[in-house]
Amino acid sequence: MINIQSKKLMSAIAAFLIAIGPAITVYANETSNRDMSAKPAVSSTANSVKTGNNSATFQAIIAHGKKEYNNHCLKCHTDQVFTRKNHFIKSLDALKKRVVRCKNANNILWFDKDTNAVVQYLNQKYYKFK
């Protein structure tokens, strides 16, 4: 009885989160500008995406990003959010901002290099921005 009720509660919460997702995005956009100080580190290393660098270093970054992503980001959504038809993210810059926002919103304690690795991993695997 309690179990069924808490399951219902969980799915109600999940539905609510999905429904208010876009609002959270707008809110985070307005409030997290200061957190964007993390950005330079992300942009500078993202150059290796542009040049299609296949070095061992790049492969290590991708592997690291994959691990961090799998550990911290798979709670709410599957990879479908990246591949769905009208996905939000349309540029490498938007992807960086979104990963930073999702990180901050979930109190994930990543260094810039971790955040950057996740950006590169998602870009290499799904978005493929130049």
20 sits near ligand HEC (criterion: CB under 6 A): no
For residue 88, the minimal CB distance to ligand HEC (Å) is: 3
Q: Which range touches ligand HEC (CB under 6 A), out of 6-14, 15-23, 30-38, 55-63?
A: 15-23
For the bound state, the minimum distance from the C-beta of residue 96 to ligand HEC, rounded and expressed in Å, comes to 10
Residue position matching structure tokens 């540029």: 91
Residues 47-106 that bind ligand HEC (CB under 6 A): 69, 72-73, 75-77, 81-82, 87-89, 95, 98-99, 102-103, 106
Interhelix angle 92-105/2-31, rounded to 10 degrees, is 130
Residue 85: partners with Cβ closer than 8 Å, 6 or more residues away: none
Structure tokens at 92: 């490498």
Q: Which is closer to ligand HEC, CB of 7 or CB of 87?
A: 87
**Which residues contact ligand HEC by CB under 6 A?**
17-18, 21-22, 69, 72-73, 75-77, 81-82, 87-89, 95, 98-99, 102-103, 106, 108, 118
